Structure 1
């Protein structure tokens, strides 16, 4: 957890630092079942440049995280935020994101429910 936390902080300051490692992150870190790794990876995917293939892999992984409410609250929060970010960039359509946000309005965590509703309202209003 500490390692990915450090990577996320370094990359947040300079997203280009991650460029050589994005493929490895998508290959190796997406198999982790640790919420701390998952939420940091979701954060990273929102700030790094992704190729079309990497975007497809990232979106598939993010969708898997929030397809049900049986997900750690912080993973859900960051996965939703990243999908909405990718939608804002035109990398994923509202037709994919909207139903996932709706699913998360039923999450056991009140903060996830609020965030899902807020993100859905923001997207519906066309706010980036």
Structure 2
């Protein structure tokens, strides 16, 4: 029995690491970031948009809703790397982990169709 991450999960982690390495200019340009203390504090709309544009929001959501249909373990592996990168993830935590996941699992078809693709694309916080 293999207990480590799969090649696909490690590739997703590497994708997150590359994103984190490229995020510094976005943070430097965000006036909110300069007043929020530690890099992981608060929120950053530019980071949230860039996560969506890169396809790193809702990776466990269905492809039909803008996700990538990864497993929850792959999602945790990705999120571990985003946290390690000290990104400001308040918008991600609320929009994806709380609201988005609830809508994906319990929302009406209409609500899922209206909200989830917009969240996954980083356009709706």
TM-score, length of structure 1 as denominator length? 0.34
* Bigger proportion of residues as helix: 1
Higher RCO (Cα < 8 Å, 6 or more apart): 2
Based on CA coordinates, which of the two structures has the bigger radius of gyration? 2
TM-score, length of structure 2 as denominator length? 0.34
